[in-house]
Chains A and B, each alone.
Chain A
Amino acid sequence: MSEASPSSSHTPPPGDLADLFENAPCGYLVIDPDGRITLANATVARWLEQTPGDLVGKPLRDLLTIPGRIVYETNLAPLLHLRGGCEEVALDMVTASGQKSPVLINALGRRGADNGLISVKIAVFRAADRREYERDLQGRAAIAVRSLALEKADSELREQFIAVLGHDLRNPLAGILGGARLLRRDAQNEKAVRVLDLMEKSADRMAALIDDVMDFARGRLGSGIELQRDAALLEPVLRHVVAELEADRPGRTIVCSFDLPGPVFCDSGRISQLASNLLGNALTYGDPRQPVRLAASATSDEFRLWVANAGEPIPDLAMERLFQPFFRGKVRPSQQGLGLGLHIASEIAKAHGGTLQVSSDRAETRFTLVMPL
């Protein structure tokens, strides 16, 4: 519609325009380049408990709190001169009775022919709740940042603790084992040989416990179990684990079934640790009259390993806590471990991007690792 159109509905009656200015749902101010108010609407005057006439002639900064005045002089005034406007600047205005009124302002400058600033129009929005909300958010953000820093310091301390733990516990143990081996070289009487056997066995067991504690600490307190993956031929590795366990438990057999056509991309040390933990578990808790079974197979996209034993099924209650650290089933006191074996096995599965699952009934108890390749 052209401007000349006599029936233009775009020209509101003058009374409406005056009302739109005076009683707008926001405050209007016009200031000169020196920051003195030259025009104010009724809305902002009402908010400040004054009349528009009271406001005209006053420097805008006089309506602000002291911090607001400093920000006005150092930040806002230069910005109005240089950029001719601003948006969403937060200030606190002060009413005639001394009440603080949080506001947000937008400003737009008017420039003359020489590009000099003639005046600045300012729209004032009351924003008490919003500003309060922002303050609250910022307070919380500050608390979060602080606790994150504390948490970071804690986690660094934990990493250090883990490293020191491993080093300081292993070194004296190596001393004991070394000493036992040294004594064994010399001719010893029967009693001494028996004691040396016991000492070495205990030291080996201690070393295994330390390894478990270290793995637990890395998984739970530190950066997780680290893997060194490469293309590994798993069958000889797993057969070695089986041979070790069978040697350790005379009279027990482990029936193996392997279908591993090629190398598997994994951390072979960790996979043999997982197999060893599962087999050790099966030998401890399974029916001693029946063999434990181990199977490992690989296809182009999946590696699967399971360990099964016969015997009493795992109670439902225990199933839920099976993979939690320090969980132990009912065992003879001599076989007490830390209860970390299954937890570490499941952490190794997780580190490989796989899962460790259990099924248990009257027929058998079976732990299955499934890992994508």
Chain B
Amino acid sequence: MIFAHGFGCDQTMWRHVAPAFESRFRTVLFDHVGAGDSDLSAYVPDKYKSLDGYADDLIELVRALGLTGAVFVGHSVSAMIGVLAVVKAPGLFSELVLVGPSPRYIDDGDYIGGFSAEQIEELLDFLAENPMGWSQAMGPAIMGNPARPELAEELTASFCRSDPMIARAFARATFTADNRDDLPRVATRTLILQCREDIIAPEAVGRYVHDQIPGSDFVLLSATGHCPHLSAPSEVIAAIDAFV
């Protein structure tokens, strides 16, 4: 069972969920390139300007580990990265669990993604201000400050670190993506986990994904917000458990 984190954090997001499956599955957790403890030198702006680059990494990872018949659990943007991966490489996974998926965040005609194009541009501008603050950034200026070695130590122990420039590029790849056409091409057994009051991936979007992926299951959790694996891990565990 392979767990993929969404935009804004790293694999730590799964710390309350992944251990529950360790007795029955080999669990694999990873950080996308540019997030968490990933090797920043592996970050190639051109490759990661769209979600394809992340999907290629996922395929490479699964093949390098020799995983067959694995369950993929992806949150938020990683739900779509999983979808892209099985469209590119059918049979890569035996099951997909999509937590808070959205194939397109920007409204388009009848399709309601939840945001206007202007709002997403505002978001990208806002991210340029590095709102999460320098204590959360893992830029080299902070990591390599020999005068303050405690900073590097503190950051090692922190969660959801991100390089502000990479975070912004990841946000652009995430929030300007349109993967609606990929959904009907998913031939893998799929479960969609939908939260209530999720402004990032509203319920209507979750139901749209459910309609478009043939034969998919849809579970509306009672958890609210966008991160049920943090706010209501036992509910998420139970839903995944019932599906696999």
Task: Say whether A and B bind each other.
Answer: yes
Please list the residues of chain A having a beta carbon within 8 angstroms of any beta carbon in chain B: 33-35, 59, 61, 65-71, 73-79, 81-83, 86-92, 131, 134-135, 138
One of A67, A82, A90, A135 near B133 (C-beta < 8 A):
A90
Q: B131's closest neighbor in chain A, by CB?
A: A90
Q: Are B133 and A74 in contact (CB under 8 A)?
A: no
Q: Is A77 in contact with B129, judged by CB distance below 8 angstroms?
A: no
B126–A67 touching, CB < 8 Å = yes
Chain A residues with CB under 8 Å of B199's CB are: 61, 69-70, 73
Provided the pairs A66-B122, A89-B133, A138-B128 are in contact, do residues A75 and B200 lie with their beta carbons within 8 angstroms? no
| B230 interface neighbour in A71, A78, A134, Cβ under 8 Å | A78
CB-CB under 8 A from A73, the residues of chain B are 8, 198-200, 225-227
CA separation between A71 and B175, bound complex, in Å? 12
| Cβ contacts under 8 Å, A92 to chain B | 126
Shortest Cβ distance from residue A251 to the other chain B in the assembled complex, whole angstroms: 66
Report yes or no: A71 in contact with B126, Cβ–Cβ below 8 A. yes
Q: Say yes or no: A71 contacts B76, CB within 8 Å.
A: no
Contact of A87 with B133 at beta-carbon distance under 8 Å, contacts A78-B8, A82-B160 already known: yes
| 9 pairs of A and B residues whose beta carbons are closest in the complex | A74-B8, A67-B126, A88-B133, A67-B123, A75-B8, A81-B230, A73-B226, A90-B131, A82-B159
Residue from A71, A78, A91, A131 in contact with B127 in the complex, judged by beta carbons closer than 8 Å: A71
Considering the complex, give the chain A residue whose CB is closest to the CB of B15: A82
The reply to whether the CB of B9 lies closer than 8 angstroms to some CB of chain A is: yes
Complex CA distance for A35 and B231, rounded to whole angstroms: 10
Chain B residues within an 8 Å CB radius of A81: 227, 230-231
- With an 8 A cutoff between CB atoms, is B145 at the interface? no
Residue of A nearest to B223 (CB): A34
- The bracket for how many chain B residues form the interface is 35 or more
CB of A89 within 8 A of CB of B131, answer: yes
**Any chain A CB within 8 A of the CB of B134?**
yes
- Which of B9, B128, B135 has the most CB atoms of chain A within a 10 A radius of its CB? B9
- State whether A66 and B13 are in contact (beta carbons under 8 Å apart), knowing that A81-B231, A89-B132 are contacts in the complex: no
Smallest CB–CB gap between B85 and chain A, Å? 21
Look across to chain B and name the residue whose beta carbon is closest to the beta carbon of A79.
B160
One digit per residue, 1 when the CB lies within 8 angstroms of any chain A CB and 0 when it does not, for chain B 98-129 equals 00000000000000000100010011011111
Known: A70-B200, A83-B159. A88 touches B126 (CB 8 A): no
Instruction: Give CA–CA (A75, B6) in the complex, Å.
Output: 10
- Find out whether the CB atom of B123 lies under 8 angstroms from the CB atom of A34: no
**Is B129's CB under 8 angstroms from A66's CB?**
no
With A and B bound together, what is the CA distance between A61 and B132 in angstroms? 15
Q: Which residues of B contact A67 (CB under 8 A)?
A: 119, 122-123, 125-127
Q: By the criterion CB–CB under 8 Å, are A79 and B122 in contact? A: no
B242 CB to nearest A CB, Å: 24
Answer yes or no: B7 CB below 8 A from chain A CBs.
yes
A78 and B135 contact, Cβ closer than 8 Å, known pairs A34-B231, A70-B123, A90-B129: no
Please list 15 pairs of residues, one from A and one from B, whose beta carbons are closer than 8 Å in the complex, sorted by A's number: A33-B231, A34-B231, A59-B197, A65-B126, A66-B122, A73-B199, A73-B226, A73-B227, A75-B132, A82-B13, A82-B15, A83-B158, A88-B133, A89-B132, A90-B132
Chain A residues lying within 8 Å of B197, measured Cβ to Cβ, are 59
> Is the C-beta of B216 less than 8 angstroms from some C-beta in chain A?
no
| Contact flag A88-B134 (CB < 8 Å), given A74-B8, A82-B230 | yes
Task: Check B224 for interface membership: any CB of A closer than 8 A.
Answer: yes
- Find chain B residues with CB under 8 A from A87 CB: 133, 135
Contact A86 B126 (CB under 8 A): no
CA distance A332 to B15 in the complex (A): 86
Question: Nearest-CB distance from A157 to chain B (Å)?
Answer: 23
Is there an interface contact between A86 and B136, defined as CB atoms closer than 8 Å? Answer: yes
CA distance A135 to B8 in the complex (A): 21
A78 touches B9 (CB 8 A): yes
In the bound complex, CA of A68 to CA of B200 (Å): 12
Inter-chain contacts of A75 with B (CB < 8 A): 8-9, 131-132, 160
Tell whether, in the assembled complex, residue A88 and residue B135 are in contact, meaning their CB atoms are under 8 Å apart: yes
Chain B stretch 1-57: residues in CB contact (< 8 A) with chain A: 6-9, 12-13, 15
Contact residues in B for A134 (Cβ distance below 8 Å): 129
Interface residues of B in 158-202 (CB under 8 A from A): 158-160, 175, 197-200
Question: Is the pair A78, B122 in contact by a Cβ cutoff of 8 Å?
Answer: no
On whether the beta carbons of B122 and A65 are closer than 8 Å, the reply is yes
* A74 close to B231 (CB less than 8 A): no
- The answer for the CA separation of A78 and B122 in the assembled complex, in Å, is 22
Q: A74-B226, A79-B132, A79-B136 are in contact. List 14 more A-B contacts (CB 8 A).
A: A35-B225, A61-B199, A66-B115, A66-B119, A67-B123, A67-B125, A68-B126, A71-B8, A73-B200, A74-B76, A74-B200, A78-B230, A81-B230, A90-B130
Q: Which residue of B lies closest to A104 (CB)?
A: B133
Select one of A34, A71, A78 contacting B131, CB under 8 A: A71
Against A, the Cβ 8 Å flags (1 = close, 0 = not) of B223-238 are: 0111100110000000
How far does the Cβ of A60 sit from chain B's closest Cβ, in whole Å? 11
The reply to whether A74 and B6 form a contact with Cβ atoms under 8 Å apart is yes
Q: Least Cβ distance of B199 to chain A in Å?
A: 6
Query: Chain A contacts of B200 at CB under 8 A?
Result: 70, 73-74
CA of A35 to CA of B126, assembled, Å: 21
For B136, list chain A residues within 8 Å (CB). 79, 86, 89
Q: How far is the CB of A69 from chain B (nearest CB, A)?
A: 6
Q: Are B9 and A34 in contact (CB under 8 A)?
A: no
